[in-house]
Structure 1
Amino acid sequence: MKNFVEQDCEMRLLVAPGCSIGVATRLSYDLRDPYAVHVDFHVGTHAPVTWLFARELLAQGAFGPCGQGDVRIWPAGTGARRMLCIALAVPDGQALLQAPPAVVERWLQRTYRLVPPGHETRLIDVEQGLCGLLGKSA
């Protein structure tokens, strides 16, 4: 059994009203971090720019506006023009990306087959984590 689910897709980075550029993107989900998704943006540097946020945030954003602060997600458009908007903010600026919702939704369904929503805690060893934080062995 695989311990991860990955999906490559192209997102659109909005650089000006009506103007966007394609950004190669990889969505990743790993059993070792069951609440999180990793989104790698390949922007021409040696290493991708990686954002980490809650899988639940991405799932909720497919149906309505959600998120606060650094990551906000909402659906936009209808029919063939439907997009999933992802706003990312850092102290130096912000980026607005559009993701293909069908690709994201299919990928989320694959992550749910690996770990159904609400079952994430079964994969976390709380005792070991606390011992690590307290500098003790489990």
Structure 2
Amino acid sequence: MAVTLEQPARARLVTSEGRERPLPVTLRYEAADPLAVQITFPPEASLDGAEVTWIFARQLLEEGLRAPAGGGDVHIWPCGRARTVLEFHAPQGLALVQFDRAVLRRFLLRTYAVVGTGREAAGLDLDQDLARLLGGV
């Protein structure tokens, strides 16, 4: 049975005016996809009024808690002593979201309790996943 972790969290959306708006989000980790983490934002946080989920590497989150990390669509960096900033780039624009670092660290530790560092490949069935991608399963 694949384990899924969900952790509600409070974040702060930084607006284009530089204000911070509280934002409830859901942090998610699925043992079936052990290399990735997910953050789901509520409909009121998106331009089109739909819930938005970002999926990115768990390793990126770990690195971004210590030092600036990322490229492409997701960048993460420490901000002061207690916060971490996640920057998401999309065709419609970008979003800056701040978290209390302790919340992200606690979530990350919970993911490693499910699938430890270096054990991610043990739960993957590459042949089955490839067949599914190619329409064989």
TM over 0.5: yes
Question: Which of 55, 68, 71 is residue 71 of structure 2 equivalent to?
Answer: 68
Query: How big is the shift at 1:18?
Result: 4.4
Q: Is the 8 A contact 1:13 1:21 kept in 2?
A: yes
Percent identity between the two aligned chains: 40
Partner SS state of residue 67, structure 1: strand
Q: Give a deviation string over 1:16-35, Cα, whole Å, max 9, x none.
A: 45411011100000111111
Residue 112 (str. 1) matches residue 112 (str. 2): yes
Q: Give a deviation string over 1:26-48, Cα, whole Å, max 9, x none.
A: 00001111111110011438752
Structure 2 alignment gaps of length 5 or more: none
TM-score, length of structure 2 as denominator length: 0.88
Query: How big is the shift at 1:134?
Result: 4.5
Residue 54 (str. 1) matches residue 57 (str. 2): yes
Distance 2:51 2:17 in 1: 25
Structure 1 alignment gaps of length 5 or more: none
* Aligned residue-pair number: 134
Query: How big is the shift at 1:109?
Result: 0.5
Q: Give a deviation string over 1:40-88, Cα, whole Å, max 9, x none.
A: 011438752111101110111000000001000000112xxx2100000
Q: Is the 8 A contact 1:38 1:53 kept in 2?
A: yes
TM-score, length of structure 1 as denominator length: 0.88
Distance 1:22 1:13 in 2: 6
Compare CA radii of gyration and give the structure with the larger one: 1
